[in-house]
Structure formats: structure tokens, C-alpha cells
Amino acid sequence: MERAKISVIQLFSLMFIFNMGTAVVISYGATAGKDAWLAILLAICGGVAIFFIHYYPFRQYPHLLFTEYMRKIFGKYLGWILALIYCLFFLYICGRNVREFGDLIISSTLAETPLLVINLTFILVICYVIHLGVEVLGRTAEVFIVILIVLGALGNFFLLVSGDVDFERIRPVLEHGWKPILSTTFPTLITFPFGEMLVFTMLLPYLNRPKLVKRVWLSAVISSSLILSWTVMLNICVLGLESMKRSTFPLLTAVGKINLLEFIERMDAIVVFTLLITVFFKASVYLYGGVIGIANLFKVENYNHILLPIGTVVIFLSLVMSSSFSEQTEEGVINQYVVLILFIMIPFMMVVVLMVRQYIKRKRH
């Protein structure tokens, strides 16, 4: 671990932006149809439950990284192998996020630019910020969350006054009952992004006030989820359900419809900047978690020694993992079950092991 501390506001900013991630621009929760916004609200309950699964082991080892206390819980060898799998998966998801960002940039603004150039530039900037340390990452998030809120407020204002929003499009509520909502909520919305927040157990030991972890994590989960729910509702109200499902990036299409007085139009840049900010921090947190975890497992004194080589691997991953965005989306469906196992089931097993150990200890005394 580096000698650094991040504040409560910085951790909240990182978590809030991380939760928004790519979910804010893709067809998030679309399988629930018109009730996608309701499925996201329901998923908040799952997000809160998952927090307590992640929080319990951390509370027992508040000064250790996830990769360290995993070895204490599962044993030296099994814990080491599992910790390495987690670090590699962090890097894989980082690559996915970079690829999704590259795809959006090419489809919206830089149609002639090679994907390699976009991804390479993006990763180099991320590596530079991580090289400066977790404190710089936290301070940067503190600044960019303000920009993100301003961009969001502008986009919402222009959409609402444009006359394109028709709230009748989300009616009737519960048209097909609770079944599609529940099947969308679990496992899709539970794993992404709530399950993925496990990566923050690699940052929690840096918090200068560890007692406030619960308040920060839960407030970030609830506030970001409410905004995601509102965004999905707006997409349906502007585009209609069928158009939203067909659109690769519904928010980009919805904001692209803004035309006020034949003067304010082409507001796509708001969505591109929003995704740039959210994916930058999400990929940064994943890359930092993967790098510091590998440095910890292989006893590398300074994680900066392995940062660029690992960043190169992430660039390669982002280019070869799929041939198109639709293929990338199909892979994401498979990934949700991997995330379910790695980010929810195994942490739950850790909770069980710790509880059993504490029970045995109390019995002996």
C-alpha cells in the first residue's frame, strides 16, 4: 500500500461516478420494458444488501486490502489464487470499459479515428493519474463530480423544455406484471454496477475516516441509482420503448433530438463528456485495484514499476475482446454470472467463514 489518505467526499465522488459508469448511456435495464426505471429502484435494495456482504469482512480487517484479508480468511494458498483471479478480472473489466468508451467515441464524434489511438490515449492518461497516486485520483474525482452534475443538469433542462418528453410513454406501469422486473433486477442490475463495487475494498484502507464507510457507500449507491432510474425513464419518454431498445446508446440518441428555436441543437457533446468522465474514473478504479493487488501478491515494493506493462495488457484486451459492440454486449450477459460468483457469492462465503470462526472462538471462551 502507498502512504496516502483520501477524504470522505473524495471516496463518495469516486463511488458515485463509478456507479454511473457506462450504465448511464447504454440500454440499462431495457429487458424490463417500460418498467426499467422501476427495476433500477428495486435493485437499490439489492445494492444495499451487497454492501453489507462486502462491508463485513472489511470491518474485521479495516487496515488491509481485499487481497490481503482474503488470504487470512481462505488460507495462504487458496486465498492467494483467488486474490490473483480477482485482480485479473479487475483488469478485464477495465478493458471492457475502455472498449465501450472507444466504441461510443467512434460512433458519435471521431468516426475516422482508429480504435487503437482512442484506447491508447485513454489508458495513458489513466496510467498517469494512477502513477501520481490514489490521493490525486480522489482529488480529481472531487472536481469532476461537480462538472458531471452541471452537465447532467444542463442535459435534463434542455430535454425537458424541448417538448420531446412524453411521460405517457412509460404508462401503463407494471404492464406485464412483476416477472420481467424481477428477472431484470436479478442478476443483471444487482451485479452491474452494485456487485462490481467490491473493487472499492482495494481503496477503503486509504480512507481517513474509516468509521464513515457505511454512510459514504450507501449514499453513493442510493443517489447514483436514483439518477440512473430517472435517466432511463427520460430515455423511454423521449424515444419510446422500441427505439430505446434498438439504440446502441439511447441517451446519446435522446439528447441528439434536442432542438430549441433552431439554435440550441447537437447537444451530443454533453453525453460524450459525461461518458468520458464516468468511464475514466471507473476504468481508473479497476486498473488501480488490479495493479495494487498484483503488486501486493507478488511483493512488488512500488506498484509504478508494473503500471505501464499492465496498462499495455489492458489496451490489448480492449482491442481483441470483441469484434463489435453487439458482440461485446452478448459477452456482458455471460459476465454477469461471473460477477455474481466473484463479487457476491465468494464474498458471502467469506462472511460465513468469519462468522463460523467467531462462533467457535466464543464457544472456546
33-36's contacts with Cβ under 8 Å and 24+ in sequence apart are 33/175, 33/176, 33/180, 33/241, 34/169, 34/170, 34/171, 34/172, 34/173, 34/175, 34/236, 34/241, 35/173, 35/174, 35/175, 35/176, 35/180, 35/181, 36/184, 36/232, 36/233, 36/236
User: Which string of DSSP letters, residue by residue, matches 152-187?
Assistant: HHHHHHHHHHHT---GGGGPSTTTT-SHHHHHIIII
- Give residue 69's Cα distance to chain centre: 23
- Determine the Cα–Cα distance for residues 15 and 21; give it in Å rounded to an integer: 10
C-alpha cell at 340: 455474481
pLDDT digits (tens, 9 = 90+) for 277-321: 999 999 999 999 999 999 999 999 899 999 999 999 999 999 988
Q: What's the confidence (pLDDT) of residue 46?
A: 92
| Type of residue found at 278 | T
Angstrom CA distances, 58 to 17, 202, 205, 215, 331, stand at 22, 10, 9, 15, 31
One-letter amino acid for residue 87 of the chain: C
Quote the pLDDT of residue 120: 95
CATH number of this structure's domain 8-364: 1.10.4160.10
pLDDT of residue 321: 84
247: which DSSP letter? Answer: -
Domain boundaries, the chain: 8-364
Residue 25 CB contacts under 8 Å (≥ 6 apart), including other chains = 104, 249, 250, 251, 252, 271, 274, 275
Alpha carbons 86 and 89: distance in angstroms, whole number? 5
Q: What is the pLDDT of residue 332?
A: 67
- What per-residue confidence (pLDDT) applies to 316? 94
pLDDT at 333: 66
The alpha carbon torsion through 348, 351, 355, 357 (nearest 10 deg) reads 110
Task: List Cβ neighbours of 352 (8 Å cut-off, separation of 6 or more).
Answer: none
Provide block-wise average pLDDT over 10 residues at a time, the chain (365 residues). Answer: 86 96 82 90 93 94 93 94 96 92 85 92 96 95 95 90 86 86 87 91 92 95 94 91 85 83 76 91 96 95 94 93 74 78 94 94 84
